[in-house]
Amino acid sequence: MSDATSLIFGRLGWDALPFWSMLHDHSPMTVINGVIATGAAGMVVLGALAAIVLVTWLGKWKYLWSEWLTSPDHKKIGIMFIVIALVMLSRAIIEAVLMRVQQTFGLDGGFLTAEHFGELFTTHGTIMIFFMAMPFLTGIINYVMPLQIGARDLSFPVMNQVSLGLTAAGAALVMISLVLAPFSTGGWTGYPPFTELAYNPGAGVDYWLWAVTLSTLSSTLTGINFAVTIFKKRAPGMKLFRMPLFTWTALCTAILMIFGMPPLTVATGLLALDRYLDFHMFTTDLGGNMMNYVNLLWAFGHPEVYILILPPFGIFSEIFATFSGKRIYGYRILVIATMCIAVLSFTVWLHHFFTMGQSAHINAAFGIATMLIGIPTGVKVYDWMLTMYRGRIRLSVPMVYAIGFIMLFVLGGMTGIILATPSVDYQVHNSLFLIAHFHNMLIPGLLFGMLSATNFWFPKATGFRLEERWGYRAAFCWIIGFMLTFFPLYVLGLMGMPRRSVAYFEPQYLPWMITAGIGAMVILCALLCLLMQLWVSIRDRHANNVFAGDPWDGRTLEWAVSAPPPEYNFPVLPEIYSIDAFMTEKDRGQGWQAPDHYVDIEMPANSTMGVIIGITGLAMAFGLVWYMWWLVIGAGLVTLVAVIARGFVRSTTRTIPAHEVQRSHEHWLEQVRRTNPIDRSLEQTTANHGRPVPPIEGAVQ
Amino acid sequence: MSRRTLNEQEARECKTEQRNYLWGFGLALVLTLIPFGLVAFIDIERMTLWITIGGCALAQVIVHLRFFMHITLAKNKREDLLLILFTVLILVIMCGGTLWILFDLYQRMLPGMMP
Amino acid sequence: MSSTDTHALEGNSRHPGLNLGAAHAQEEDTREEMVFGFWVFMMSDLILFGLLFATYVTMLGGTAGGPGPQALFELKSAFIQTMILLVSSFTFGMASLALKYREDRVRLVVWLLVTLALGLAFLFFELKDFHSMFDKGGVPSRSGYLSAFFSLVPLHGLHVTAACIWLVALLGQMAVHGLDAPVKTGILRLAILWHFLDIVWIGIFSLVYLGGLS
C-alpha cells in the first residue's frame, strides 16, 4: 500500500470486506462463512439504504430533523433509545439463533469457523448488554420517570441528547463492523492477554473497545442526569417516600451507573493504552498484570447486573399493583430492599472469578456477600406475590410477562445461590451451566421487564394500545422458547460442556443441543410475533385509540395526562399528597381537572449538540479502529469547538404561551368528558378509549 | 464600573469568608510542608513516616473540603455530604477490595510483584 | 470567625462550593441543579481516580528491572508543582469571592488570570518532569510500574488542561455576554473542578511522590 493511501485509510484495506477471503479461498467452509457474513453485511447496508429511501420518499427529512433528532424532549429521546434497542435486539437474537443452530449441528464440526463463532458470541454479548439492555432501560426511564415525578423534562435535556448520540454512535460502530470486518473474538468481557496487541493485532478488539467506551460515556452521563432529576425536579409534595417504585428503582439504577461505570472506563482505557501506546498494564511481559483487568471489569460488571435488573423490578412492581387493582404490598420494604441490593451489588464482584487463584477466605467472604443479595430479592418476590393475593387480577399481556418473570426468575436465583458457593463454582464455572444461569436472570428479568413495560406504556407514548392477541403469542413464545433453550444448558453444563465452544465431540450432548436449537426457533417466532404485534397495532390504531390517557386504570402520575402527553407534560405542575397520586385523585373524584389559570411554560429549545457529538464520536472511534489519525484529530477538534461554542449560546429556551397550553388542555379535557368510561373487564376491547370507571369502594387500598 | 455597595451584613460576611479562605490556605500549607519536610530533611522510621504522610494528606483533604468546597456537617437540605460519604464507602469497597484481592493473588502466584 | 455569620452562610447554601447568596438570586434553581449535577460528575470521576490509585499501588512491584521511583522522581519539582496548585486553589477562591461581593469585573478577571497562569505553570513543570523522566529511561513502555504511573499522573494533568481551556472559554463568554447567570454558574462549577483537582493532587504527591521517595 502506498504512503498516501495508508495516510488516508490507515490500515483499512480491501480484506476488511466480508466476502474478500471467499474470493481467494474456495474451500466450502470459507465460502459458507463468507456467505453468512456477506448476507449480514448486506442486511446492514440494505437496511440503512431502505431507511434513507423511505424517509426521502415520504419527504420527512425536515420532520425527522426538527421533531426528533434535535428535540430535547425526554419523551422523544426515550423513544429513540428504545428504537435503537429494538434494532439491536433483532440483530442479537438472529446471532443467538445462528449460534444455537451451529451447536445443534456442532457434533464433530458444524458449519461455522471458530473465528466466526467467536465474533458471534462477542457481538451477541456486547450488543445485548450495551446496545440492547442499556438503551432499552434508559429509554423507558427517560420516558416514564419525569412523568411519574411530575416534572417537565430531565435536568439536563441537552446532555440527554448527547447520551443518545453516544449510544447511537456505539451501536453504529458495531453495525459498521459487519461491513468492514472483523469484530473482536474476545467475548463481551474482552479479557487480556487474548485481547492484547501481541495476540490480537487486528481491528476487531478495537471495534469492541471503542463501542463499549462510547456506551460507557453515554451511561455515565445518563446516570448523572437521572439522579439529579429525581433529586431536584420532583413536583411539590412529591417526597422521596411518595415516589412510585419505578422511580425509586430508576434512582438506584442511576446511582449504580454513576459509580459502577468508572471501573469499566478504567479497564477499557488501560487496555486501549496497552494497545495504542505500548503500555504494559495487562500484558504478559514487563510487569503487566492481566488479573487486575478481570478485577476492574467485574467491579463494573456486578453493579451493571443490577443496573439491568433494578428497573425491571420497578416495572413489575407497577404492573403487579395496576393489574391486581391493589396498592403495592410493602411499599417501604420494597424501597429498602432496592437500596440494600444497590449497595450490596458493590460488594460481590469477585464471584465472577472465584477460580482465579486467590485464597479460600476471600472467596468465602464474597460468596457470603453474594448470598446476602438473595434476601432483599426474596423479600421483593414475596411482596409481589402478596400484592397479587386477593387482588382482582387481570391477565393482560404485561401481567403474563410478569408472572413468567416471577416463576422463572426465582429458578434462576436459585441457581445463582448454587453458583455463589465457591466449591460448586469450581465445578461449573465457564460451563454452559453459567450461561443458563445468567440468561435465566436476564431474559425473564430484564427482557420480560422491558417487553412488559413496552406493552404497559406503549399506549401512553403513542395514543393507542398494542394489539393483545399477538402480544399473548409473543409472550408465550418467549416463555416457552426460553425454557426450551436454556433449561437443557443447565444439564449440558453439569455434563461438563464448556461455554463458547464452536463444536463438541460427545454424542451425549446432542439431544440436549437439539432441544435448545428448537427453543431458539421458538424465540425467533417470539421476535416475529413482536413485529407482527407492532404492525397489527399500527394498522388498527384508530380503533384502539386511548387519547384520554388512562387505559389500565393506572395509579401513578403518568396516567393523569393525555396519551401521548403534551410536550410540557403538565399544564400546571401537580401537587402530590400521597403515593399512587393519580389513583388518590380518581378515588376522591378529583381527576381530570382544569387549573384555575394557565401560565407561560418555558421549555428547552432544540439543539444540534446530540447529533454533532454522536457523529464526531463515531468518527473518532472509527478513525481509532482503522488508524486514520486525521479523522481522529479532526473529529476531536470539532467536538471541542462544538462544546465551547455551546457555552456561548444564550437562547436555550423557548416559551409556550399560556393560551396555547389552555387550548390544548381544554381540548383534551373535552375529549375525556366525551369518552365513555369503561369497566376493567373491557379494557382489552375497542371500547377502551382510555377512561376507566371510578374505582369501587375499597379497591384503592 | 464601581464596587457594589455592600450592606453591613454582607460586608461582615465578606470579611468572614475571606478569613475562611486564608485559614484554609494556611492549614493546607502547613499540612503540605510537614510531609515534604519529613521526607526531605528528617530520617525517621518508614512506617511512622508513611502514617504521618497519610494522616497529613487526609487532614488536608478535609481542610480543602471544609474551607474551599464549603462542605460542612451543618444541617441543611443538600445531598452532597451524603453523596461524599457514599462515594467514600464505594471507594473503600472498590479500592480496598482491589488491593486485598490482588496482593493475595501476588502472594500465592506472583511473589515478584510484591513491592 | 464569628459563629453567627458562618451559620447564616451555611444555612443559605443550596449547593456545594461557594454559594452566591441573595444578591445573585436570579436563576438560582437552575444554578442549584447545574452545580449539583457537576458535583455528582466529580464523584464519578473520583472513583475513576481512586481505582487508578489502587492500580498504581498494585503495580509498584512491576518495575521489571527498569527504573523505579527513587531513580525517577525529584522532590524539588514535586514540591514546586504542589505549591503552584495550592496557591492556584487559593487564588480561585479569591476569584469566587470577587464574583460574590464585587460588581467590578476587573478584580474577578485579574484573579482568574492569575489562576490560569498558575495552572499553565503547573502544566509546564509537570511536562518538564515527564521530560526528565523520559531522559532517564522512564517511559511507559518500559514496565508495568511506569505504565501505571503514566496512566494516573498525566490523567490529572489532562484534567488541569481541560480546566484551563474551560477557564479561557468562560473569560470569552464574559467578554461577549458580560457577567450573566450562565457565566456565574460556570465559574462556580469550574471552582469545584479546580479545588477537586487539588484534592486529587494531594493523593498524588503523598502516595506517588512522597511514598515513592521515602
Q: Which residues of C touch B43 (CB under 8 A)?
A: none
Is A24 tagged catalytic? no
Q: Looking at residues A293-304, what average pLDDT do you find?
A: 96
**Which residue in chain B is spatially nearest to C144 when comparing CA positions?**
B113
- Alpha helices per DSSP H over C2-143: 3-11, 28-58, 69-72, 75-101, 105-135
- Which uninterrupted H or E stretch holds A654? strand A653-656
CA distance A335 to A376: 10
**Set A304, A468, A558, A580: catalytic member:** A304
Q: What is the pLDDT of residue A241?
A: 94
Q: Which residues of A touch C52 (CB under 8 A)?
A: 266
Closest partner residue to B90 (CB to CB) among A259, A295, A358 is: A259
Q: Are residues B29 and B47 in the same domain?
A: yes
Q: Is A58 exposed, middle or buried (0-12, 13-18, 19+ CB in 10 A)?
A: exposed
DSSP per-residue string spanning A157-173? HHHHHHHHHHHHHHHHH
Q: Which residues of A touch C176 (CB under 8 A)?
A: 648
Q: What is the pLDDT of residue B3?
A: 52
Nearest Cα of chain A lies from the Cα of B114 at a distance, in angstroms, of 11
Cβ neighbour number for residue A500 with a 10 Å cutoff? 17
Q: Which residues of B touch A346 (CB under 8 A)?
A: 90, 93-94
Q: What is the pLDDT of residue A699?
A: 55
Q: Are residues B78 and B65 in the same domain?
A: no
Q: What is the pLDDT of residue B80?
A: 74
Tell me how many domains chain B contains. 2
Q: What is the pLDDT of residue A698?
A: 57
Q: Are residues B50 and B80 in the same domain?
A: no
Q: Which residues of B touch A283 (CB under 8 A)?
A: none
Is A380 tagged catalytic? yes
Is A351 tagged catalytic? yes
- pLDDT tier at A393, thresholds 50, 70, 90: very high
| Domain edges within chain A | 60-607+652-682
Domain that holds residue B43: 1-70
Q: Which of A352-366, A496-510, B5-19, C3-17 has the lowest mean pLDDT?
A: C3-17
User: Of residues A81 and A4, which shows the higher confidence score?
Assistant: A81
Q: Which residues of C touch B13 (CB under 8 A)?
A: 5, 8-9, 21
Do A86 and A140 touch, CB atoms closer than 8 A?
no
Closest partner residue to C182 (CB to CB) among A270, A285, A650 is: A650
Q: Residue A501 pLDDT > 70, yes or no?
A: yes
Nearest Cα of chain B lies from the Cα of A357 at a distance, in angstroms, of 6
> Cβ B101–A295 below 8 Å, yes or no?
yes
Q: Looking at residues A18-32, what average pLDDT do you find?
A: 90
Q: Are residues B65 and B91 in the same domain?
A: no
> Cβ B113–A358 below 8 Å, yes or no?
no
Is A659 tagged catalytic? no
**Set A38, A155, A167, A219: catalytic member:** A219
Query: Which of A228, A295, A653 has the highest number of chain C CBs within 10 A, making it the mutation to test binding with C?
Result: A228
| Residue C162 in contact with partner chain A when CB distance is under 8 A | no
| Residue C182 in contact with partner chain A when CB distance is under 8 A | yes
Q: Residue B72 pLDDT > 80, yes or no?
A: no
Do A273 and A309 touch, CB atoms closer than 8 A?
no
> Cβ B1–C104 below 8 Å, yes or no?
yes
How many Cβ pairs closer than 8 A exist between chain A and B?
43
DSSP per-residue string spanning A230-262? HHH-PPTT--GGGS-HHHHHHHHHHHHHHHHHH
Q: What is the pLDDT of residue B13?
A: 84
Q: What is the pLDDT of residue A651?
A: 87
Q: Which residues of B touch C207 (CB under 8 A)?
A: 57
Q: Are residues B60 and B97 in the same domain?
A: no
Distance of CA C57 to the CA centre of its chain: 22
Q: Looking at residues B55-73, what average pLDDT do you find?
A: 90
Q: What is the pLDDT of residue A224?
A: 96
> Cβ B91–C15 below 8 Å, yes or no?
no
Reply yes or no: is the peptide bond before residue A135 cis, omega within 30 of 0.
no
Q: Residue A339 pLDDT > 90, yes or no?
A: yes
Q: Is A68 exposed, middle or buried (0-12, 13-18, 19+ CB in 10 A)?
A: middle
pLDDT-flagged residues of chain C (< 50): 1-8
Nearest Cα of chain B lies from the Cα of C48 at a distance, in angstroms, of 9
> Cβ B94–A358 below 8 Å, yes or no?
no
Do A587 and A570 touch, CB atoms closer than 8 A?
no
CA distance A215 to A165: 10
Q: What is the pLDDT of residue A565?
A: 96
- Side-chain-facing half-sphere of A612: CA atoms under 13 Å: 18
Which CATH code for domain A60-607+652-682?
A: 1.20.210.10
Q: B touches which chains (3+ CB pairs under 8 A)?
A: A, C
Q: Which residues of B touch A362 (CB under 8 A)?
A: 100-101, 104
CA distance C157 to C129: 12
| Domain edges within chain C | 30-60+71-213
Q: Is B41 exposed, middle or buried (0-12, 13-18, 19+ CB in 10 A)?
A: exposed
> Cβ C51–A299 below 8 Å, yes or no?
yes
Q: Are residues B60 and B4 in the same domain?
A: yes
Sole residue written with cell 424501597: A335
- pLDDT tier at A701, thresholds 50, 70, 90: low
| Residue C41 in contact with partner chain B when CB distance is under 8 A | no
CA distance C46 to B94: 12
Cβ neighbour number for residue A659 with a 10 Å cutoff? 10
Contacts of A98 (CB under 8 A, 6+ apart): A36, A112, A120
ipTM of the complex: 0.94
Q: What is the pLDDT of residue C1?
A: 37
- pLDDT tier at A204, thresholds 50, 70, 90: very high
- pLDDT tier at B2, thresholds 50, 70, 90: very low
Per residue in A256-285, pLDDT tens?
Answer: 999 999 999 999 999 999 999 999 999 998
Q: Looking at residues A436-459, what average pLDDT do you find?
A: 96
Q: Are residues B84 and B46 in the same domain?
A: no
Q: What is the pLDDT of residue C3?
A: 45
Is A568 tagged catalytic? no
Contacts of A557 (CB under 8 A, 6+ apart): A147, A148, A149, A150, A235, A244, A574, A576, A581, A582
CA distance C95 to A632: 36
Q: What is the pLDDT of residue B1?
A: 39
Which CATH code for domain C30-60+71-213?
A: 1.20.120.80
Q: Which residues of C touch B48 (CB under 8 A)?
A: none
Task: Please give the mean pLDDT across all residues of chain A.
Answer: 94
Sole residue written with cell 476471600: A362
For residue C4, give the C-alpha cell. 453567627
> Cβ A289–B110 below 8 Å, yes or no?
yes
Q: What is the pLDDT of residue C2?
A: 42
Q: Are residues B66 and B79 in the same domain?
A: no
Nearest Cα of chain C lies from the Cα of B11 at a distance, in angstroms, of 8
Residues 4 through 43 of chain B touching chain C, CB cutoff 8 Å:
4, 6, 9-10, 12-14, 16-21, 23-25, 28-29, 32, 35-36, 39-40
Closest partner residue to B109 (CB to CB) among A231, A295, A357 is: A357
CA distance C70 to C55: 19
Of B53, B70, B87, at which residue does a domain stop? B70
Closest partner residue to C61 (CB to CB) among B13, B16, B114 is: B114
Q: Residue A428 pLDDT > 90, yes or no?
A: yes
Nearest Cα of chain C lies from the Cα of A13 at a distance, in angstroms, of 29
